[in-house]
Structure formats: structure tokens, C-alpha cells
Chains A and B, each alone.
Chain A
């Protein structure tokens, strides 16, 4: 296992280096209007609903589309990309995961995200910066980071991987079908048989920063997740589980961790799929 704590940068670091040559700060939010309400000066803003997915078929962003997005954001293959966003970096982690799938080398997350930046009353800008276009070449997708439905079904049948459900306890039990205030997007509530409930928020402190290595290790060890077997994380659409994937892969150094981005909106809509409650 190899811990890579250098994938996190502090708000202080971002304040000092946000506009350095070779660095691009990017905001990615759940609420896609948040960027317009003020962002880190000099940062780009990416919309996860249109720019970080395939808008025709359900899939992650296609390579060509990612290349265009990064190119127009002034990012080339050697750029240090620093991601941050609301909700303790939910969708920043989603972007991080996709960038790693496509092989980008230096991607980091601003620890604490937008919440910490705001709470510290740091500078905000409503200007949309323009960037000199760059050329970006996406790598061959690294599918060792991504789980598809057949692999999850095999994991359930053969107990070949630990499943971590990172949704809220009420979603895990089936008491609710989606987070309060959001549209229901599944036909059945509950969880994938055998999954352990470790809500994503437990990875974070109140100020939005990630917990320490020892705290994270204890959190997962309590549910038998030690990093000595393959792990598949899932949530509703794959973004909360990106954050848990990030914590396990980079902060705990687990070798074999995958994000199942089909998540509950796939499993909870499958005809005939086994569902466990509570």
C-alpha cells in the first residue's frame, strides 16, 4: 500500500499558487451555479452535468470531450490540476477519479473545498477567466479504477470483493430512495447484498477537510475493510463514492479500489436484482 498525501493541498497553498504557471485550479460543484456566486480567483469552473459525463449514453466523459474541456481550460498533460468544490469536494472527487481513469499525472484536491475557503473569508471572484488554449491527449482508460455491473454481481455471488455503500444510513436501509430534497431515481430502496455501510461524510471533519490517516484507517477497519482485498465503493450515481474511493486509494493507500459509478441508480432499478434491507 502506498499513501499519497501529496494529492491534498491546503487553502493556504491555493491562495499562494492558484495562478502559477503550470497550475490550474478548477471548481466542480454539486450545485452547478455555485461557481457563479464567487470562486477562487483565476479558477476554471466545470459543470458535472454537461462537461464531465457523456450526455447521450450514461457514461463518464468521453476521451475526446475531456481533451476539449481540458484544452480550453488551458490544461496540458503536465499541468498540475487542483480541484475543489462544494459538499466537501464531492464532485471535485468525481472529476479527480475521471482524470485518473484517463491517466492524468498530477491531480490534487484542495482540502476542505469551497466550504473551508468561504469560512476563511478568502478572496472570491465572479470573473470568468480566459485561458490560452492547450493541447491535451487523454490516455487509455484505466479500468482498474472502475467497476461495472457484471463485476459487482460477481463480487456479490462470490464474495470476491468488499462492497462499501457510502450513502446515508436512511438510503442504505431503504427508508428513503434519495437524499432529502432531491428527486427519487430508483425503483427500490435498500442496498446491495453484503455491502457495508460507511457513509462518505465520515471521511471528513466538520471543516470539510479529510480526517487523518489513523482516523480513516480505524473507520474502515471497524467494518473489516483493511485494504487486503479488493474493494468496490458505490453510492447513488458514483460521485459520493468517488470521494470514498479517493480516501481509500490515496489517503489510505489501498491498492485495489474501484468506483462503481452505476451505483444505486443502476442496481436499484434492475429487474430481478437482489436487494438487502435494512
Chain B
């Protein structure tokens, strides 16, 4: 099988730059979200449509990002 409808974009979520990567393999859309720096994938979800997979992944990512603290330096 070949991945279809591949997309990769950067955007801000909860104040953090992130990357959203989505593709379709067979009948399933796979979405993964990584922090832009250093680029670690920390949330992912599947769905029957691109929008469904991305919205589920974004929901998880938002929850995880809320736990990241910033300190004064």
C-alpha cells in the first residue's frame, strides 16, 4: 500500500509550536503531533477522515501541552 493524502504542517497549539502529520493508509487516517523543537511525537490518533484523526490528536496534544511548565531564567 502507498500512503495517500500525506500532509505536514506547523501551527501553534496552547502556546507551543507543533507539527501535525497526517496520512491515509488503507481505510484509516493516521495523525501524529510532534513538538516543533525538538520534534518529538507526543500525541497521535486514528480516524476514518482526516478531520476526525486530526481533531482527536489535537485534543490529546492540548491535554499534554497543558502540563508543560515554563520557568523564569
A121 and B1 form a contact (CB under 8 A): no
Among residues 56 to 73 in chain B, which have CB atoms less than 8 Å away from a CB atom of chain A?
61, 64-65, 67-71, 73
Among residues 33 to 51 in chain B, which have CB atoms less than 8 Å away from a CB atom of chain A?
33-35, 37-44, 46
- CB-defined contacts of B46 to chain A, threshold 8 Å: 37
Given contacts A37-B25, A181-B61, contact A189 B71 (CB under 8 A): yes
Chain B, interface size category, equals: 35 or more
Given contacts A125-B1, A180-B35, A199-B38, contact A37 B73 (CB under 8 A): no
Apart from A170-B37, A189-B73, 4 more pairs, CB < 8 Å = A87-B40, A90-B40, A119-B8, A182-B35
Cα of A102 to Cα of B26 in the assembled complex, Å: 39
B6 and A181 form a contact (CB under 8 A): no
Say whether B2 faces chain A, with CB atoms less than 8 Å apart: yes
A86 and B6 form a contact (CB under 8 A): no
Cα of A175 to Cα of B23 in the assembled complex, Å: 34
User: In chain B, what residue has the closest Cβ to A178?
Assistant: B68
Interface-centre pick from A121, A122, A189 (highest chain B CB count, 10 A): A121
Question: Which listed residue (B1, B21, B70) contacts A38, Cβ 8 A?
Answer: B1
Question: Which listed residue (B3, B39, B41) contacts A118, Cβ 8 A?
Answer: B3
B23 and A199 form a contact (CB under 8 A): no
Question: Which listed residue (A29, A33, A177) contacts B69, Cβ 8 A?
Answer: A177
A182 and B30 form a contact (CB under 8 A): no
- B51 shortest CB reach to chain A, Å: 18
Cα of A256 to Cα of B2 in the assembled complex, Å: 42
A176 and B2 form a contact (CB under 8 A): no
Binding site for B on A (CB under 8 A): 29-31, 33-34, 37-38, 86-88, 90, 115, 118-119, 121-126, 167-170, 173-184, 189, 199-201, 240, 277-278
Among residues 10 to 35 in chain B, which have CB atoms less than 8 Å away from a CB atom of chain A?
16, 18, 21, 23, 25-26, 30, 32-35
- A233 shortest CB reach to chain B, Å: 14
User: In chain B, what residue has the closest Cβ to A184?
Assistant: B69
Binding site for A on B (CB under 8 A): 1-4, 6, 8, 16, 18, 21, 23, 25-26, 30, 32-35, 37-44, 46, 61, 64-65, 67-71, 73
A168 and B38 form a contact (CB under 8 A): yes
Cα of A170 to Cα of B38 in the assembled complex, Å: 10
B32 and A180 form a contact (CB under 8 A): no
Question: Which listed residue (B25, B42, B44) contacts A33, Cβ 8 A?
Answer: B44
B1 and A124 form a contact (CB under 8 A): yes
Given contacts A37-B25, A38-B1, A124-B3, contact A179 B40 (CB under 8 A): yes
Cα of A64 to Cα of B65 in the assembled complex, Å: 38
B37 and A199 form a contact (CB under 8 A): yes
- A161 shortest CB reach to chain B, Å: 23
A181 and B38 form a contact (CB under 8 A): no
User: In chain B, what residue has the closest Cβ to A170?
Assistant: B37
B26 and A201 form a contact (CB under 8 A): no
- A57 shortest CB reach to chain B, Å: 25
